[in-house]
Structure 1
């Protein structure tokens, strides 16, 4: 049975630091195996939790993508909440002054541009700077820890941003605890770091194998299929194609008012990729600030049938190239403004982590396939991480 780091400290022998003044970086998606919010579980078991910190989307996991989150108070525990997706991305010296130890418990989804990972790195640096211990309450990677499924491109340092600070693949196949240990050593951060391991997980498992109910990790990641497809379909953010935000198909669909889903579905299904089924779909994005709000879109919906073989980044790149080729008069690259990139410029470069990425899509199809095959391979990543893998 899979259990999380939070379960290890609330169900077993309590740690020596239980009575220390604890700050916690968390959100409402972080729960025990039995779905009790982690912060509540700690308080009910007598841990001296005094302050909370929240990432993008806020403590309640409802904030819109890329929107600034405010400080506040937690309605569940009454504790003060300091936003780390605001004018600052890391706790300040003042924030940490009345804290002895910082806990980090936020579910990740295994992709470089999902920002919870980078919040962790800012917290890691802040703890090192201010002489505070950081304890990662680890969780399994929901899209598996299979290193053969890791996909690039590897981030180029010049493309560093809050959706990718340091070199690593788009799909990393690691846990937050493993990456914390890796960055702490390789970036010479040298924080006092402890990782509380999760248990019962092997690297071949996907989230449905855990036998726990799925908990949405952000407004647009509402089910396991979204997690699987996200590393590839998130690339649609840099275009005028809807990625399904504001619908039940978020990150499982691609569409626009001018698209015909039948044509694209036919081509993709004819490619013979047995691990994913593509269907025509019509949807109307309804959430505020999403593409084509209240406009009916035609497009395609994808369902991954064989997660153990599915390569999301490659698939997303091919999907983009196909739509651009079929709709040359409609397709556009678009900025994607967020708190951390207010102009939204060069968003595709930041997502893929490489300069001039839009130019790849001007290549003839055979050269395009060859180039993305080369760039998405990251055979050395497993060896790079070898000394830091915990499972």
Structure 2
């Protein structure tokens, strides 16, 4: 049985429970019994006085990349300071009357999922304003198996952004608690940091190994399969191909009105024969790219999650579509609050300068270079000192 950080916190008698607590969280942060973490804290006598929310807002329903304002929490009656609106980081006024900052956010294991980067801004604010931070850890839903970690490593000089501030792989295979320690040490942040670890979790485990029910982390990350495929199909955001936003299966499908579904499914299955299968589908997005239009394409089904290399698969899919539909495929901008013009989105997703140039290689050369391109370098060695869980 896996106990989450929030579960273990609630079972411990802390001498600071009555002090003024700020809590960085959202609706996807729940106990093992699916009670909202913030409600459980207050019910158990923790003096939470202010909430902070990441992208998508406290209720996790805000559209991707949209401004989220400050609000009041209907569940607790507490004020909520948005960290994806007027500012990305807490300021001195937010922290000056607080004694302890708790953080409980559900990361999904991919570098471009922004809750992790909200955490980094809170770490820096904690150091700047002299506040103790306590991170309530959660398992990585797509496992902590470092053999499945995939790059490229982010180029901080040329490709840093709010979907990747610092040099980690695309699929990092760490927990949010482990990365808290890693950043605090590696970046010399100097925050007074504590992580309340999980128990019962091992690095090889995926979400279905410890829970039958996946709590949606945001509007488009609504199932475990979606989280597993997110580091595969999120790159489609930088193209004129729909990744399924506005459907019941976001980040599980890929299509466009001009694609031949059967043709693409056959090409995919002929070239990618391990751990994943494509089947032809039609879908109509309600919002986003091609809203209201019938898209033809494929749905991916992971047949062996222990062998599935998401990033490599996603990049190879784009190359297959690009070469098959020359003249129709295009790179496209992706506008968000933190990238108002949506420029260079592939560079920011991959964390590599001029990322589109890699796809100009002939197909056979692309395949030969792909393993090297998605290498995570010496990531295992770099994080080994801060790993909190066994293989």
CA distance in 2, matches of 1:81, 1:215: 21
CA distance in 2, matches of 1:174, 1:272: 27
TM, length-normalised to structure 2: 0.98
CA distance in 2, matches of 1:14, 1:379: 42
Matched residue pairs, number?
388
Q: Deviations over 1:12-43 (max 9, x none)?
A: 22222211110000000000000000000001
Q: Deviations over 1:209-252 (max 9, x none)?
A: 01241100010011111111111200000001000001112000
Shift of 1:372: 2.0
CA distance in 2, matches of 1:108, 1:207: 12
Q: Deviations over 1:156-213 (max 9, x none)?
A: 0121000000111000000000001000011010100000001110000000001241
Please, which of 376, 383, 386 is the counterpart of residue 384 of structure 2?
A: 386
Indicate the RMSD between aligned Cα atoms, in angstroms.
Answer: 0.9
In structure 2, the residue matched to 1:156 is 155
Stretches (4+) displaced over 6 A = none
Q: How does 1:1-391 map to 2 (within 5 A)?
A: 1-10=1-10, 12-157=11-156, 158-271=158-271, 273-287=273-287, 290-391=288-389
Change (3 A) 1:272 1:67: closer
Q: Deviations over 1:248-289 (max 9, x none)?
A: 1200010111111111111111235231121001000013xx
CA distance in 1, matches of 2:314, 2:151: 12
TM, length-normalised to structure 1: 0.98
CA contact (8 A) 2:276 2:304 kept: yes
Shift of 1:375: 1.5
Structure 1: 5+ residue stretches without partners: none
CA contact (8 A) 1:33 1:212 kept: no
For 1:234, what is the secondary structure of its paired residue? helix
CA distance in 2, matches of 1:17, 1:174: 29
